[in-house]
Amino acid sequence: MDNNVICEGCGSILQTEDEKEIGYIPKSSLQKKNLLCKRCFQLRHYNKHETVSLDSDDFLDLVSTIRDTDSLIIHLIDIFDVDGTLLKSLPRIVGTNPIILVGNKVDLLPKSTNQRKVRNWLFNQAKEAGMNVLDVFLISSMKSYNIEELAMEMETRRENKDIYVVGVTNVGKSTFINHFIKRSTGIKEAITTSYFPGTTLGFIEIPLDRNSALIDTPGIVNRHQMAHYVSKNDLKIITPKKEIKPRNYQLHRGQTLFIGGLARLDFIKGAKQTFVCFFSNEVPIHRTKLENADALYERQVSELLSPPDQETLSILPPLVKRAYRLNEPYTDVVFPGLGWVTILDSDVTVEAYSPKGVNISIRKSFN
């Protein structure tokens, strides 16, 4: 191939040999009018740049270069899936650089949620993960909630340094970055990150001033996220689009709740009480007798108990069970990526099921 042919997006020399190397273009695309390397093509058309896998060897090498910089880190997470999106390896990646933890998608929490409790909880989660955070912000990239406040804080905290935005895929990083592109360029309509030159590491720099930039890093794939175990269609159903309406179930012990067919909660011991369910309004919840639950699942998974659809069913790991004894009132049983159930009383035993690899957790309720 002619050595002088360059990508119109990033200016790298185009090549058709190695997909993993800079400037790769599939042979079939060479006939096109606008020549773009695969990466710029994806950027321009999907407004996404490459993702890296958390368990791949290249990952740490790639992103850990942040450790050698002097910068401010914005760690963007999805407050609806903290277990799946809070990067436990962040301190190793960013070294001693200061971190602001930003919980996105706050618009999905019911209005009754106590945001102060959510922030405190996030502070604690970060601390447990060994992360020393300067501050915690709750924002909605989609609804532009609290973004200006965060932007102001970023400006004071960065002390003229670069800002790196780090996050797992699907937390809303593209939506977030687009806000800052609009802010820094003053252009009102949505433009994409493809307007900015990328570096060889897949980092994209959006200038903040003459000497510093907001740097978008590749989205990180965390294999333990529910999102990777479901079909595109099911992901749409389980991802809440608007404020979650809590659903109440009066349960006796010996009863079971199915969350579609993706999770299950058995009420083993405790007085009759209300279980408050926080899941996407489109996910059906089904109540049944514990003694019938196995048979119902066998017969009805992907039918009455859906999602999963057939496509998800072919990739979904089997449901695994864990027992929990809850000694405190107002405890949440959290199914990462799906939602949670608040149990109001203490002295309760439940058994909770989730797909193997997507670990359930317990926390004090926000309400």
Strand partners, 250: 274
Give the binding-site size for ligand GDP (rule: CB under 6 A): 16
User: CB of 237: closest distance to ligand GDP in angstroms?
Assistant: 12
Pattern 11-50, binding to ligand GDP, x per CB under 6 A?
----------------------------------------
Rounded to an integer, what distance in angstroms lies between the CA atom of residue 196 and that of residue 181?
A: 9
In the bound state with ligand GDP, the residue whose beta carbon lies nearer, of 104 and 354, is 104
Q: Closest-CB residue for ligand GDP?
A: 172
Site for ligand GDP in 105-164 (CB under 6 A): 105, 107-108, 140-142
| Smallest separation, CB 294 to ligand GDP (Å) | 34
Report the residue from 12, 85, 104, 365 that binds ligand GDP according to the rule CB under 6 A.
104
Could you tell me if 239 and 189 are in contact, meaning their C-beta atoms sit under 8 angstroms apart? no
Q: Which residues of 136-150 are buried (b: 16+ CB within 10 A; e: fewer)?
A: bbbbbbbeebbbeeb
Q: Which residue has the tokens 């899936």?
A: 81
And the tokens for 125?
Answer: 């989660």
* Binding segment (CB under 6 A) for ligand GDP, from list 14-22, 82-90, 170-178, 337-345: 170-178
By CB under 6 A, residue 264 contacts ligand GDP: no
* By the rule CB under 6 A, 174 interacts with ligand GDP: yes
What are residue 107's phi and psi, to 5 degrees? -65, -15
Cα–Cα dist 173/1, whole Å = 36
217 to 256: interface string for ligand GDP, x by CB under 6 A: --x-------------------------------------
- The residue from 64, 115, 175, 367 that contacts ligand GDP (CB under 6 A) is 175
In the bound state with ligand GDP, the residue whose beta carbon lies nearer, of 142 and 191, is: 142
* Secondary structure of 221-289 as H, E, C letters: ECCCCHHHHCCHHHHHHHCCCCCCCCEEEEECCCEEEEECCCEEEEEEECCCEEEEEEECCCCCEEEEE
Residue nearer to ligand GDP on the CB measure, 108 or 293: 108
Report how far apart, in Å, the C-alpha atoms of 83 and of each of 124, 168, 223 are.
13, 11, 12
In angstroms, give the least distance from the CB of 190 to ligand GDP.
12
Stretch that binds ligand GDP, among 102-110, 127-135, 302-310, 325-333 (CB under 6 A): 102-110
Closer by beta carbon to ligand GDP, 78 or else 266: 78
Question: How far apart, in whole angstroms, are the C-alpha atoms of residue 95 and residue 14?
Answer: 35
Q: Which residues of 27-36 are buried (b: 16+ CB within 10 A; e: fewer)?
A: eebeeeeebb
Which among 64-72, 171-179, 183-191, 319-327 is the span making contact with ligand GDP, rule CB under 6 A?
A: 171-179
Residue number with CB closer to ligand GDP (108 or 131): 108
Instruction: Report which DSSP code applies to 76.
Output: E
Nearest CB to ligand GDP, comparing residues 168 and 352: 168
What's the one-letter identity of residue 340? W
Residues making contact with ligand GDP (CB under 6 A)? 104-105, 107-108, 140-142, 167, 169-175, 219
